Amino acid sequence: MRFSKREIDALTCPPGKRDAVFSDTETKGFLVRVTDTGTKLFLFQYRYAGRVRRLKLGEYGALTIAQARKMAEEARGRVLAGGDPVGERRAEVVSYQASLQEQAAQAAIDALTLDVLIDRWAAMALREHSETYRREGPQRIRYNFQLFLNRPAQSLTVSELQARLDEIAEQHPTTARRLQAYARAMYAWAVKRQLVEDNPFARVIVEGREVSRDRVLTDDEIGEIWRVAGQMAYPFGPFFRLLLLTLQRRSEVAEMRWEEISPDLTTWTIPAERTKNSRVHIVHLSEPARHVLAALHRQTDPKTGAISPYVFTNTGRTPISDFSGAKERLERLIEVERVEKSPGKEVCAMPAPGWRLHDLRRTGVTVMARLGVGPHVADRVLNHVQGTIKGVAAVYQRHEFLKERQIALDNWAIHVLQVAESSELNTAGSRVIALRRS
pLDDT of residue 431: 42
Model pLDDT for residues 159-215, shown as the tens digit of each residue:
999 999 999 998 888 889 999 999 999 999 999 999 999 999 999 998 766 555 689
The CA distance from 253 to 239, in Å, is: 7
Amino acid at 233: A
Domains by residue range for the chain, with CATH: 5-108 (3.30.160.390), 112-202 (1.10.150.130), 221-437 (1.10.443.10)
Q: Please tell me the predicted confidence (pLDDT) of residue 134.
A: 87
Q: Are 165 and 206 in contact (CB under 8 A)?
A: yes
- Given a cut of 70, the residues of the chain with pLDDT beneath it are 106, 109, 208-213, 343-353, 385-399, 422-438
How many angstroms separate the first and last alpha carbons of the chain?
126
Measured distance CA(241)–CA(332) in Å, rounded: 17
Question: Given CA atoms 430, 290, 420, 381 in this order, what sign does their dihedral have?
Answer: positive
Give the 3-state secondary structure of the chain: CCCCHHHHHHCCCCCCCCEEEEECCCCCCEEEEEECCCCEEEEEEEEECCEEEEEEEEEECCECHHHHHHHHHHHHHHHHCCCCHHHHHHHHHHHHHHHHHHHHHHHHHHHCEHHHHHHHHHHHHCCCCCHHHHHHHHHHHHHHCHHHCCCEHHHCCHHHHHHHHHHHHHHCHHHHHHHHHHHHHHHHHHHHCCCCCCCHHHCCCCCCCCCCCCCCCCHHHHHHHHHHHCCCCCCHHHHHHHHHHHCCCHHHHHCCEHHHECCCCCEEEECHHHCCCCCCEEEECCHHHHHHHHCCCCCECCCCCCECCECCECCCCCECCCHHHHHHHHHHHHHHHHHHHCCCCCCCCCCCCCCCCCHHHHHHHHHHHHCCCCHHHHHHHCCCCCCCCCHHHHHHCCCCCHHHHHHHHHHHHHHHHHHCCHHHCCHHHHHHHHHHHC
pLDDT in tens, 305-331: 999 999 999 999 999 989 989 999 999
Residues 6+ apart with CB under 8 A from 298: 258, 307, 308
- Predicted confidence at residue 390, as pLDDT, reads 47
Q: What type of residue sits at position 38? A: G
Task: Give yes or no for a contact between 188 and 202, defined as CB atoms under 8 angstroms apart.
Answer: yes
Please give the model's pTM, rounded to 2 decimal places.
0.59
By C-alpha distance, which of 177, 174, 240, 233 is closest to 204?
177
CA distance 55 to 179: 61
Handedness of CA 315, 317, 322, 326 (dihedral sign): positive
- Residue pair 217/244 in contact (Cβ under 8 Å)? The answer is no
Backbone φ and ψ of 177, nearest 5°:
-65, -45
> Rounded to the nearest 5 degrees, what angle is found at the Cα of 164, between the Cα atoms of 158 and 168?
135
Task: Give me the torsion for CA of 360, 364, 366, 372, rounded to 10°.
Answer: 180
Contact 436, 422 (CB under 8 A): no
**What integer pLDDT is reported at residue 174 of this predicted model?**
84
Whether residue 151 contacts residue 114, with contact meaning beta carbons closer than 8 Å, is answered with yes
The amino acid at 18: R
Query: Residue 129: what pLDDT?
Result: 83
Query: CA angle 91-95-99, nearest 5°?
Result: 170
